[in-house]
């Protein structure tokens, strides 16, 4: 435990007028930088969202299976993810763990067919698809009772991105 942290990043909206439009006005990240007392690799320790109403939310990591991905409807292409990763590596902020994600994985822990889309609280496991969520009062991973749940992406966003992905997968001149 430190008394002070050497690097704190504050991201905020550039125009003060925008602060009246958006609910989230800034994000604060507390970042560990290796030094003589703590040689751990560089990593984000805490993240907070500051809301226009004066409230703040402590952002927590979600727990997903090793072969799951963020659903495609979250708006990042594979190229964007690799660019993001290379920028983090240049800044020395990339995680040391190998990239375990496979593209377009469908890995609901129950049906093994649907795309994982639901976050279960308070355990933060992200392990159920839209079809299976309605059948569970306990997390299938840790058996903790689910107090709340929320989708990572809306059904409409998922359908739009799936149709975009299908059109990108079709190669002209190929016979399937």
Whether 110 and 39 share a structural domain: no
Distance between CA atoms of 120 and 126, rounded to whole angstroms? 6
Mean pLDDT of 20-29: 88
Domain of residue 129: give its range.
Answer: 61-75+99-160
Lookup: tokens for 41? 């690799």
Closest CA to 47 of 55, 33, 58, 32: 58
Q: Is 141 part of any domain?
A: yes
Whether 139 and 116 share a structural domain: yes
Lookup: tokens for 4? 């002070």
Whether 70 and 145 share a structural domain: yes
> Quick check: 1 pLDDT over 50?
yes
Give the list of residues 6+ apart from residue 65 with CB closer than 8 angstroms, or none: 107, 109, 116, 127
Whether 65 and 53 share a structural domain: no
Tell me the helices (H) and strands (E) count for the chain, helix number first. Answer: 2, 8
Whether 66 and 123 share a structural domain: yes
Backbone angles phi, psi at 130, to 5 degrees: -60, -35
Whether 138 and 150 share a structural domain: yes
Q: Is 29 part of any domain?
A: yes
Q: Is 176 part of any domain?
A: no
What digits encode the pLDDT tens for the residues 87-105? 555 555 555 444 444 444 5
- Residue 16 confidence (pLDDT): 80
Asked if residues 160 and 71 have their Cβ atoms less than 8 Å apart, the reply is: no
pLDDT band at 166 (very low <50, low <70, confident <90, very high): low
Q: Across the strands, what pairs with 24?
A: 51
Whether 69 and 133 share a structural domain: yes
In whole angstroms, how large is the CA radius of gyration of the chain?
19
Whether 112 and 125 share a structural domain: yes
- Residue 47 confidence (pLDDT): 93
> Quick check: 31 pLDDT over 60?
yes
Give the count of domains, the chain.
2
What digits encode the pLDDT tens for the residues 35-76? 888 888 888 989 999 888 889 899 988 888 765 444 444 544
Whether 27 and 108 share a structural domain: no
- What is the number of alpha carbons within 13 Å of residue 123 lying toward its C-beta? 16
Whether 130 and 70 share a structural domain: yes
Asked if residues 108 and 114 have their Cβ atoms less than 8 Å apart, the reply is: yes
Mean pLDDT of 18-37: 86
Q: Which residue has the higher pLDDT, 170 or 52?
A: 52
- Residue 98 confidence (pLDDT): 40
């Amino acid at each position: 435990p430190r008394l002070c942290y050497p690097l704190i990043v504050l991201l905020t909206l550039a125009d003060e007028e925008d602060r009246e439009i958006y609910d989230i006005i800034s994000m604060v990240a507390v970042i560990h930088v290796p030094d003589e007392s703590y040689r751990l690799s560089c990593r984000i320790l805490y993240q907070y969202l500051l809301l226009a109403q004066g409230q703040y939310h402590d952002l927590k990591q979600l727990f997903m299976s090793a072969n799951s991905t963020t659903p495609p409807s979250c708006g990042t292409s594979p190229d964007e993810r690799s660019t993001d990763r290379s920028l983090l590596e240049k800044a020395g902020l990339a995680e040391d763990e190998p990239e375990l994600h496979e593209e377009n994985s469908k890995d609901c822990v129950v049906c093994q067919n649907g795309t994982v889309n639901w976050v279960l609280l308070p355990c933060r496991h992200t392990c159920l698809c839209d079809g299976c969520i309605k059948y569970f009062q306990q997390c299938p991973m840790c058996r903790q009772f689910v107090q709340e749940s929320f989708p990572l992406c809306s059904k409409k966003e998922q359908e739009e991105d799936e149709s975009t992905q299908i059109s990108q997968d079709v190669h002209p001149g190929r016979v399937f």
